[in-house]
Amino acid sequence: MTKQNIMAIVALITIGMTGTVYAENVEVVVPFDSHGQTCTFDELAVEFQCVWQGYKEVYTMEDLKEYKELLSVERYDQEIQKLNEQALAEIAIEQAKLTPDELTIQKIEKKLNKGIATAQDSVHMNLLKQLDTCQQGYDANTAPFQEKREVTKSSFDKWSYNNIDYSGQVLEIVLAIEECRAQIHVFKAGVGYQNFPTGDDDYQFSLQDVYTSDVQAVNFADHTSTHRNINQALICDNNQFADTHKIQFGCEVLYDGKTAEQIKLENELRFGTNGTIEYKSQVLDDYYGFMDTYGNRQATTDDKKVEEEIATPIANEWKENNNFYQNHLEE
């Protein structure tokens, strides 16, 4: 930014064709560095205009040639350096866009231009320039027994004309070419597999598709740990083994949902542990009471007389109330 003084000339036209020339100093602030100015005065419009010529922030090579006389030597060298750095940066950006194969081709082309490239370099470059692919497992003939795969090869067919060392990337491409040639015979051999199911149609039933992933055929954690545990389920849950064998093995055998120990405790609570069977019956209690007091004794004449006296009124009452007996007496 610079400050410059200019002489502003204003023409005042008065009545009577008389005029007065008026001059005034004005300070103008120019918001950039300038290397020259031009001013014009329009008498009819009474306008005084000035133009300041500044320096460009960004120069091209053509601009530098145009402004070389106006720029200082130091400024000119700085702008040349900027353009060189910009050009190198653009080259680096373009280089970054290239694939590794394209960079290799570019490197070999530079060697060819210098006349230092070898036959191996030439074969390598031509192989890379004509890269192609062949497919495996994509057609009906090979899909049943080949995984889908693309092989990167080259369409350059003169790689065998030169006696070169097959190594590195050249060897990889040549092997891919031979593999793709062999794929033609593989395709012919797969004619009998055309109707085989492939992809999602080639489904093999698996229990893992039915049960959740946490259900395993074997207990992996148990089989991979060190312990003395025995898997009793192979015997305890197997109906081919008798209950006696299961008990000897330590299995828990249930009878109507109860273990043998539970049944034993219930029987002891019900029948006791003295070896006798006890029944709660009033009839049996009366019978055993009679046997204890009388039934187990030898009856005497007096005992018979007492029982007869007891039985006589009972018999008479029965006779009186028994119609069959009364009818028999009347006859």
Of the chain, the percentage scoring pLDDT greater than 90 comes to 14
Q: What is the arithmetic mean of pLDDT over 284-308?
A: 77
Residue 58 confidence (pLDDT) above 80: no
Top pLDDT among 9 and 146 is at 146
DSSP states of 195-259 as a string? TS--GGG-----GGGTS-TT--SS-HHHHTS------THHHHT-TTS-HHHHHHHT---EETTEE
pLDDT digits (tens, 9 = 90+) for 65-79: 776 776 677 777 777
Q: Distance between CA 51 and CA 28 in Å, rounded?
A: 11
Q: Distance between CA 190 and CA 199 in Å, rounded?
A: 16
Q: Distance between CA 26 and CA 323 in Å, rounded?
A: 167
Give pLDDT, residue 18: 45
Give pLDDT, residue 32: 65
pLDDT digits (tens, 9 = 90+) for 193-213: 888 888 778 888 777 777 776
SS3 164: coil
Residue 11 confidence (pLDDT) above 70: no
Write out the E strands in 55-160: 131-136, 149-154
Give pLDDT, residue 57: 62
Give pLDDT, residue 70: 67
Residue 28 half-sphere exposure, CB side, CA atoms within 13 Å? 16
Residue 215 confidence (pLDDT) above 60: yes
Tokens (6 digits) for 276: 């006798």
Question: Which of 76-85, 159-168, 259-268 has the least mean pLDDT?
Answer: 76-85
- Cα 36 to its chain centre, rounded Å, is 70
Location of structure tokens 């210098």: 114
SS3 65: helix
Q: Distance between CA 53 and CA 32 in Å, rounded?
A: 9
Give pLDDT, residue 151: 92
Tokens (6 digits) for 99: 């694939």
pLDDT digits (tens, 9 = 90+) for 147-191: 899 999 999 988 888 888 889 999 999 999 999 999 999 999 888
Question: Which of 82-96, 134-148, 173-187 has the least mean pLDDT?
Answer: 82-96
Sign of the Cα torsion 97, 98, 103, 106 reads negative
pTM for the full model?
0.37
Q: Distance between CA 71 and CA 184 in Å, rounded?
A: 71
Q: What is the arithmetic mean of pLDDT over 86-93?
A: 73
Residue 249 confidence (pLDDT) above 80: yes
Strand partners for 34: 54
Q: What is the arithmetic mean of pLDDT over 133-144?
A: 90
Is residue 136 within 8 A of residue 183, CB to CB? The reply is yes
Top pLDDT among 97 and 244 is at 244
Question: Which of 90-94, 128-132, 267-271 has the least mean pLDDT?
Answer: 90-94
Give pLDDT, residue 8: 38
Give pLDDT, residue 255: 87
Give pLDDT, residue 322: 82
Top pLDDT among 204 and 311 is at 311
237: buried, middle or exposed (CB in 10 Å: 19+, 13-18, 0-12)?
A: exposed
Whole-angstrom CA distances from 217 to 203, 225, 228, 233, 320 are 20, 17, 21, 14, 89
Tokens (6 digits) for 20: 């007065």
Top pLDDT among 81 and 275 is at 81
Is residue 141 within 8 A of residue 193, CB to CB? The reply is yes
Question: Which of 14-23, 139-148, 191-200, 285-294 has the least mean pLDDT?
Answer: 14-23
Top pLDDT among 20 and 115 is at 115
Give pLDDT, residue 55: 64
Write out the E strands in the chain: 2-13, 19-30, 34-42, 47-54, 131-136, 149-154, 254-255, 258-259
Exposure letters 61-73 (e unless 16+ CB within 10 A, then b): eeebeebeeebee
Tokens (6 digits) for 61: 């090579």
